[in-house]
């Protein structure tokens, strides 16, 4: 069961769609043109229902199978938003929106799902209902959560949900995943340090927020090296540190920010608690005031065992058993498909796109050659998951 012949026939058309979306990138919750294009294509494919405005700018389409004896509904998800990055490649479909580009392949993900929708609407060789989910604002906006909060799962009766992401550096048309934690939780923090300003020649008259801040940075790293089980992953990165405007002044305040990544919910909770304890202790040590604003953003992306095995079994039929891995290491990047996997059982997989620049790089471009494979995989999740009797 390799790439579906009919899907392969769509390749040129789908490539043109992908490149059009690439040329008109839109940031999270502003995917108005993209959402309109998706809805227009879905209408032309003859799907049974199209609903816009779910999760603000999301689009959902319903395709009914030849039968509905199973009463089952499977959701397939793609993200639509772009990133605030200046594209430096000069291809003819280069971004026409200065400072915004599809640097993570969401243009490709959207196109893959459109290809699957076109084929499924034509053939309907399944027993149940397929729901196509075109999600906004994956890049930091939590669009997946917004769609869940809008009642999408209940409204469309979704029983299981699946998604994929292109994988630079992974061989073209290989499919990889794992059961359990696949991608990390992403939390973010902002810290304000209030010390006491002074002349730089008299540091004893002040409370130096730079010294306080450097103590914080060092202490946070000991959460990783001394407080958490070394067999459990955690990253604590302080990524900004702003203080001072003159070389002869000890500033009164400083601001730091950064991110925490974890693969375990208990470790995630501990990290937040420990950072607050460290802030309290260092503030007391220096006589400063430290305000910590800790925001839990995306949860851990956790693949469900039964659905992951099913997805990878389907993958083996599409790309071949030798091109499928079921035991890859988790990655510390985050993904808001995690919200959908908290709401319903399902799985998320990586689709190899070859030796290309990594995601979020200004020279990144989605590999159009993997579109038929991605669309065929999505189709077979529906046909194999809800087979005709």
139 known member of a binding site: yes
243 known member of a binding site: no
From residue 307, alpha-carbon distances to 159, 202, 223 in Å are 11, 64, 34
Q: Is the pLDDT of residue 301 over 80?
A: yes
86 known member of a binding site: no
Nearest 10 degrees: CA dihedral of 301, 304, 356, 102?
Answer: -50
User: Same structural domain for residues 46 and 95?
Assistant: yes
pLDDT digits over 149-164, tens only? Answer: 999 999 999 999 999 9
Q: Is the pLDDT of residue 65 over 80?
A: yes
What is the arithmetic mean of pLDDT over 74-79? 99
User: Same structural domain for residues 52 and 95?
Assistant: yes
DSSP 152-205: HHHHTT--EEEEEEEETTSPTT-EE-BSEEEE-EEEEEEEEEE-B-EETT-GGG
What is the arithmetic mean of pLDDT over 118-143? 98
What is the arithmetic mean of pLDDT over 351-377? 98
pLDDT at 142: 96
Tokens of 121: 């609407």
From residue 308, alpha-carbon distances to 133, 161, 304 in Å are 19, 11, 6
Cβ atoms of 345 and 311 within 8 Å: the answer is: no
The set of catalytic residues is: 81, 138
User: Same structural domain for residues 278 and 258?
Assistant: yes
- C-alpha 125/C-alpha 66 separation (Å) is 6
Final residue before a domain boundary, out of 266, 298, 330: 298
User: Same structural domain for residues 176 and 194?
Assistant: no
Q: Is the pLDDT of residue 20 over 80?
A: yes
- C-alpha 81/C-alpha 38 separation (Å) is 13
Reading phi first (left if > 0) and then psi (alpha if -120 to 50, else beta), residue 291 is in beta
User: Same structural domain for residues 256 and 195?
Assistant: yes
- Any idea which residue has 């009463």 for tokens? 71
pLDDT at 112: 98
Cβ atoms of 315 and 175 within 8 Å: the answer is: yes
Cβ atoms of 338 and 300 within 8 Å: the answer is: yes
CATH number for the domain harbouring residue 255: 3.30.70.360
Phi, psi of 67 (to 5 degrees): -130, 165
User: Same structural domain for residues 129 and 202?
Assistant: no
Tokens of 46: 């003859």
Cβ atoms of 157 and 73 within 8 Å: the answer is: yes
User: Same structural domain for residues 266 and 315?
Assistant: no
This prediction has a pTM of 0.95
What is the arithmetic mean of pLDDT over 124-143? 98
User: Same structural domain for residues 325 and 283?
Assistant: no
Give me the number of domains the chain comprises. Answer: 2
Q: Is the pLDDT of residue 241 over 80?
A: yes
Tokens of 365: 């471009």
Instruction: Quickly count helices (H) and strands (E) in the chain.
Output: 11, 16
Read off the DSSP letter of residue 207: B
Give the mean pLDDT of the chain.
98
R_g of the chain, CA atoms, integer Å:
24
pLDDT at 271: 98
Query: For a pLDDT cut of 70, what percent of the chain falls above it?
Result: 100
pLDDT at 162: 99
49 known member of a binding site: no
User: Same structural domain for residues 38 and 152?
Assistant: yes
- Any idea which residue has 């002869």 for tokens? 248
What is the arithmetic mean of pLDDT over 107-132? 98
- C-alpha 184/C-alpha 173 separation (Å) is 24
Cβ atoms of 374 and 112 within 8 Å: the answer is: yes
Q: Is the pLDDT of residue 249 over 80?
A: yes
Contacts of 12 (CB under 8 A, 6+ apart): none
What is the arithmetic mean of pLDDT over 236-247? 97
DSSP 16-85: HHHHHHHHS---TT--HHHHHHHHHHHHHHT-SEEEEEETTTEEEEEEE-SB-SS--EEEEEEE---BS-
- Other beta carbons within 10 angstroms of residue 74's beta carbon come to 22
Is residue 247 exposed (0-12), middle (13-18) or buried (19+ Cβ within 10 Å)?
exposed
User: Same structural domain for residues 21 and 85?
Assistant: yes
What is the arithmetic mean of pLDDT over 253-275? 98
Q: Is the pLDDT of residue 1 over 70?
A: no
- C-alpha 138/C-alpha 343 separation (Å) is 17
Q: Residue 361 is inside which H or E element, if any?
A: none
279 known member of a binding site: no
- Other beta carbons within 10 angstroms of residue 327's beta carbon come to 8
User: Same structural domain for residues 287 and 168?
Assistant: no
User: Same structural domain for residues 27 and 151?
Assistant: yes
From residue 170, alpha-carbon distances to 22, 259, 373, 384 in Å are 22, 26, 14, 26
pLDDT band at 2 (very low <50, low <70, confident <90, very high): confident
Instruction: Identify the domain containing residue 117 by its residue range.
Output: 5-183+300-385
Final residue before a domain boundary, out of 298, 327, 358: 298
CATH number for the domain harbouring residue 93: 3.40.630.10
pLDDT digits over 199-226, tens only? Answer: 999 999 999 999 999 999 999 999 999 9
Query: For a pLDDT cut of 90, what percent of the chain falls above it?
Result: 99
Q: Is the pLDDT of residue 39 over 60?
A: yes
């Amino acid at each position: 069961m390799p790439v579906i012949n009919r899907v392969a026939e769509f390749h040129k058309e789908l490539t043109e769609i992908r490149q059009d979306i690439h040329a008109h990138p839109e940031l999270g919750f502003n995917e108005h043109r993209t959402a309109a294009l998706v809805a227009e294509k879905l209408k032309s494919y003859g799907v049974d229902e199209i609903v816009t405005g779910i999760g603000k700018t999301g689009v959902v389409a319903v395709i009914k199978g030849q039968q509905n004896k199973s009463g089952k509904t499977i959701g397939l998800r793609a993200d639509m938003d772009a990133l605030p990055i200046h594209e430096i490649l000069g291809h003819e479909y280069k971004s026409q929106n200065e400072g915004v580009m599809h640097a993570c392949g969401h243009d490709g993900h959207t196109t893959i799902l459109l290809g699957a929708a076109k084929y499924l609407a034509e053939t309907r060789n399944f027993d149940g209902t397929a729901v196509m989910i075109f999600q906004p604002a994956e890049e930091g906006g939590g669009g997946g959560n917004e769609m869940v909060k809008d009642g999408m799962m209940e409204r469309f009766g979704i029983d299981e949900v699946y998604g994929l992401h292109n994988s630079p550096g992974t061989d073209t048309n290989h499919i990889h995943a794992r059961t359990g934690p696949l991608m990390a939780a992403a939390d973010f923090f902002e810290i304000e340090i209030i010390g006491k300003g002074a002349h730089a020649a008299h540091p004893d008259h002040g409370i130096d927020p730079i010294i306080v801040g450097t103590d914080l940075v060092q202490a946070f790293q000991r959460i990783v090296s001394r407080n958490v089980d070394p067999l459990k992953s955690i990253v604590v990165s302080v990524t900004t540190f702003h203080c001072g405007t003159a070389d002869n002044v000890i500033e009164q305040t400083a601001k730091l920010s950064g991110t925490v990544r974890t693969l375990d919910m208990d470790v995630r909770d501990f990290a937040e608690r420990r950072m607050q304890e460290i802030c309290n202790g260092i503030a007391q040590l220096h006589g400063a005031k430290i305000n910590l604003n800790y925001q839990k953003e995306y949860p851990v992306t956790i693949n469900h065992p039964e659905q992951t095995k099913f997805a990878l079994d389907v993958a083996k039929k599409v790309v071949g058993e030798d091109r499928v891995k079921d035991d890859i290491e988790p990655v510390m990047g985050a993904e808001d498909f995690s919200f959908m996997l908290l709401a319903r059982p399902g799985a998320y997989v990586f689709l190899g796109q070859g030796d290309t620049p990594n995601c979020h790089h200004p020279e990144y471009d989605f590999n159009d050659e993997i579109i038929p494979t991605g669309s065929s995989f999505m189709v077979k999740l529906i046909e194999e998951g809800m087979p005709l009797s």
